[in-house]
Amino acid sequence: MGFLPISKEDMQKAGIGQLDFVYVIGDAYVDHPSFGAAVISRVLEANGYSVGIISQPDWKDDKSITVLGRPRLGFLVSSGNMDSMVNHYYVSKKRRKSDAYTAGGEAFKRPDNATVVYGNLIRKTYKDAPIIIGGIEASLRRMAHYDYWSDKLKHSILLNSQADIISYGMGERSIVEIADALNSGININDITFISGTVYRTRDIDGLYEPIILPSFEAMSEDPKLYAQSFGIQYENTDAFTGRILVEEYPHNVYVVQNPPQKPLTTQEMDAIYDLPYMRTYHPCYEDKGGVPAISEVRFSLISSRGCFGGCNFCALTFHQGRIVQTRSHESIIKEAELMTKEPDFKGYIHDVGGPTANFRHPSCKKQLTHGVCKNRQCLFPKPCENLYVDHSDYLELLRKLRKLPGVKKVFVRSGIRFDYLLADKDDRFFNELVKYHISGQLKVAPEHISDTVLCRMGKPGREIYEQFIKKYDKINKRLNKNQFLVPYLMSSHPGSTLKEAVELAEYIRDLGYMPQQVQDFYPTPSTVSTVMYYTGIDPISQKSVYVCKNPHEKAMQRALIQYRDPDNHELVREALIKAGREDLIGFDKKCLIPPRKINGTGSGKAGKYRSSKNIKTAGKDRSSKNIKSAGKDKKSKKYQNKIRQPKHKSRKI
């Protein structure tokens, strides 16, 4: 078993005259289970279908789409592991300079709106070939959606790409059902019966109890209708309770979304991850130094998918769903044993997790028969009384992995949901997490500390985070560990005014901590927060929300989080005056900045790093022998000025 064909020569060697499917992807070809295109291709292959890969075709050359010939059943299209616009642009809309999913990290090897461009390229060349689109970009743009980069409401990607059908969500079941239907001779236009798909039609008379959403034209004229439509869509993301949704477009065209596919069983999950992946990038990229993204996942293990955390700025509800699905211990250990035999394996498993590492089962026992609640969250505003809190399965898995020959340490670097951790009365997992599975620092995501903003984020209140800090610190002290917390913080999320931004700055001041990197809120498709940003309305409660859109105010909110940076002095000063908080300008220890910029010394006395009993921050990663604690008191001012802060990685979107 080797890589899938990428050329006619590969097809000849494999004895394939015509491929069943040609998969056009925006990423470099990496045959690893962390890459969606690899998973879908291997699943189809396991079901008897041949698949070839056209990776990052030249969209300006019509012939680039013909290198593998016309497929027997159809074209598959995906932008890659990321939305192509998020891949290309920062939240400021400035272009990124590199792309981890391209050989050598080269940027812009795929077009903007890659799924649309590839779909139109195929349709231009093969006018009647079936086109099935999928992946994160298609999944989250399957209905009318707000596009941050053009600042307008856009059609379903199904229409703009000229595709025939969308396989949304994770797609393993639906893609096989689509393939079987095509293989049996059913016309692509008649495949309207598969869960987890979206199709177009001119006739909706035969649909069973559909929900008719506001039309695209009506939503374009009145954003409030879009907020209402999204609220309905959000209530129908569950496979057990979701209904057929219909969206009308001009010229009597309807886009129809079937309910999601049912969650995979553990046996189905195991079968998918046990497929014969090559577990690395195609050797054709070797001369460019390979594909950078593989380094993050090569020695990591996926144990679950789905998330019941319900963060409003996250699109997982619309893509993977709220029901957690897991692999068996045996499947994960088998994959770990394969890792240990790789020549580059140094004894460290970098991660064992998923969207949320400590979710290893559905949030309550009714979900696999009745689905998730439509109008209630599992953890917000507080844990549901029916929440099933148990870390024992995950703990046992980590213990087994630690014992494997050749494994020195098993890290947990996926996000930990700290409110769920605190809800567990059994502290064994928390203790062993701190003792064995942290690489010197634990990344957590409070995102903010103002309850006003946290409520809009769907995150637990400040009090819960502070309880977590205290408990984490207590366990570290008992174990004689000198480990740190790295909090992810977000500026300018809907609901955040300058008042809340100042509140966060004061909290950071009291911790003696300045984040080196801060993430501005990024309005990506199909999140509750993005709908708030566009409409000024919370689509769940239908209440008005303050939205910071002015670039200068966004800069002020961001600067407040990093108020110690001398370059931010004027922005911070302006923000404090505008917020009526001139009391924070001065030389008192409670002040954020002095009256004027002081070069070379941060922001005066308030700019020094003070020790904190409840939080410590790290310099280099724990894997480095040169780790230093920013929490220690040092007499040397030179030392204080040179303390390195932890490098925050951007959150996955």
Predicted confidence band at 307 (pLDDT cuts at 50, 70, 90)? very high
- Please tell me the least confidently modeled range out of 23-32, 402-411, 484-493, 539-548: 484-493
Q: Which of 313, 327, 318, 312 is nearest to 359 (CA)?
A: 327
pLDDT tops 50 at residue 68: yes
For residues 439-456, b (16+ Cβ closer than 10 Å) or e, as one string?
bbbbbbbbbbbbbebbbb
- Please tell me the least confidently modeled range out of 100-114, 255-269, 508-522, 607-621: 607-621
Residue 631 to residue 639: CA distance in whole angstroms: 12
SS3 per residue for 632-646: CCCCCHHHHHHCCCC
Provide the mean pLDDT of the chain.
91
Q: Which of 430, 412, 520, 514 is nearest to 469 (CA)?
A: 430
Q: What is the pLDDT of residues 325-366, one digit of tens each?
A: 999 999 999 999 999 999 999 999 999 999 999 999 999 989
pLDDT tops 50 at residue 262: yes
The tokens describing 201, both together, are 């039609």
Q: Which of 171, 331, 318 is nearest to 266 (CA)?
A: 331
Where is pLDDT greater, at 309 or 617? Answer: 309
In this structure, the number of other CB atoms found within 10 A of the CB of residue 606 comes to: 21
The tokens describing 558, both together, are 């961001």
Predicted confidence band at 314 (pLDDT cuts at 50, 70, 90)? very high
* CB neighbour list of residue 124: distance below 8 Å, 6 or more residues apart: 62
Share of the chain above pLDDT 90, in %: 86
Residue 264 has what pLDDT? Answer: 97
- Cα–Cα distance list, 206 to 203, 210, 244 (Å): 8, 10, 12
Residue 473 to residue 615: CA distance in whole angstroms: 7
Domain 440-653 has CATH 3.30.750.200: yes
For 8-200, CATH number? 3.40.50.2300
Predicted confidence band at 617 (pLDDT cuts at 50, 70, 90)? very low
Give, as one character, the DSSP assignment of residue 148: T
pLDDT tops 60 at residue 623: no
Rg (CA), the chain: 25
pLDDT tops 90 at residue 627: no
pLDDT tops 60 at residue 113: yes
SS3 569: helix
Residue 186 amino acid letter: I
Residue 618 has what pLDDT? Answer: 37
The tokens describing 367, both together, are 């979900």
Residue 48 to residue 516: CA distance in whole angstroms: 50
Do residues 526 and 538 make contact, with C-beta atoms less than 8 angstroms apart? no
In this structure, the number of other CB atoms found within 10 A of the CB of residue 348 comes to: 14
Residue 645 has what pLDDT? Answer: 36
Residue 512 has what pLDDT? Answer: 83
Where is pLDDT greater, at 372 or 607? Answer: 372
User: Crossing angle of helices 498-511/569-578, nearest 10°?
Assistant: 120
Residue 490 has what pLDDT? Answer: 96
pLDDT tops 60 at residue 648: no
Upstream peptide bond of 381 is cis (omega within 30 degrees of 0): yes
Q: What is the pLDDT of residues 381-396, one digit of tens each?
A: 999 999 999 999 999 9
C-alpha neighbours within 13 Å on the C-beta side of residue 25? 28
Do residues 603 and 569 make contact, with C-beta atoms less than 8 angstroms apart? yes
Residue 304 to residue 357: CA distance in whole angstroms: 8
SS3 114: helix
Tell me which residue has tokens 């195929």: 122
DSSP result, 513-542: ---S--EEP---TT-HHHHHHHHSB-TTT-
Beta bridge partners of 520: 491
Q: What is the pLDDT of residues 50-63, one digit of tens each?
A: 999 999 999 999 99
- Cα–Cα distance list, 439 to 349, 351, 370, 481, 617 (Å): 11, 10, 39, 11, 13
Predicted confidence band at 421 (pLDDT cuts at 50, 70, 90)? very high
Which whole number is the average pLDDT over 183-193? 98
pLDDT tops 90 at residue 629: no
Residue 604 has what pLDDT? Answer: 44
**384 exposure class (CB count in 10 Å sphere: 0-12, 13-18, 19+):** middle
Predicted confidence band at 600 (pLDDT cuts at 50, 70, 90)? low
* CB neighbour list of residue 213: distance below 8 Å, 6 or more residues apart: 143, 229, 232, 233, 245, 246, 247, 248
pLDDT tops 60 at residue 201: yes
* CB neighbour list of residue 589: distance below 8 Å, 6 or more residues apart: 605, 606
Give, as one character, the DSSP assignment of residue 618: B
In this structure, the number of other CB atoms found within 10 A of the CB of residue 478 comes to: 11
The tokens describing 31, both together, are 């045959």
Q: What is the pLDDT of residues 524-563, one digit of tens each?
A: 999 999 999 999 999 999 999 999 999 999 999 999 999 9
Residue 595 has what pLDDT? Answer: 93
Residue 473 has what pLDDT? Answer: 95
Domain boundaries defined on the chain: 8-200, 440-653
Residue 48 to residue 349: CA distance in whole angstroms: 33
The tokens describing 272, both together, are 């998918």
Q: What is the pLDDT of residues 7-44, one digit of tens each?
A: 999 999 999 999 999 999 999 999 999 999 999 999 99
- State the pTM of this model: 0.90
**187 exposure class (CB count in 10 Å sphere: 0-12, 13-18, 19+):** exposed
Share of the chain above pLDDT 70, in %: 92
| End-to-end CA separation in angstroms for the chain | 33
Residue 113 to residue 92: CA distance in whole angstroms: 18
pLDDT tops 50 at residue 643: no
Residue 633 has what pLDDT? Answer: 39
Pairing between β-strand 51-55 and β-strand 300-302 as defined by DSSP bridges: unpaired
Residue 516 has what pLDDT? Answer: 73
Residue 160 has what pLDDT? Answer: 98
Beta bridge partners of 53: 23
Residue 415 has what pLDDT? Answer: 85
SS3 464: helix
* CB neighbour list of residue 117: distance below 8 Å, 6 or more residues apart: 59, 111
Residue 280 has what pLDDT? Answer: 96
* CB neighbour list of residue 572: distance below 8 Å, 6 or more residues apart: 505, 556, 559, 560, 563, 592, 593
pLDDT tops 50 at residue 640: no
Rounded to the nearest 5°, which phi and psi values hold at 622? -60, -25
Predicted confidence band at 599 (pLDDT cuts at 50, 70, 90)? low
Residue 547 to residue 325: CA distance in whole angstroms: 35
Predicted confidence band at 439 (pLDDT cuts at 50, 70, 90)? confident
**70 exposure class (CB count in 10 Å sphere: 0-12, 13-18, 19+):** middle
Residue 632 has what pLDDT? Answer: 37
pLDDT tops 80 at residue 626: no
Residue 570 has what pLDDT? Answer: 96
Q: Which of 490, 625, 610 is nearest to 558 (CA)?
A: 490
- Cα–Cα distance list, 558 to 276, 551, 572 (Å): 46, 11, 9
Residue 642 has what pLDDT? Answer: 31
pLDDT tops 70 at residue 638: no
Residue 649 to residue 81: CA distance in whole angstroms: 17
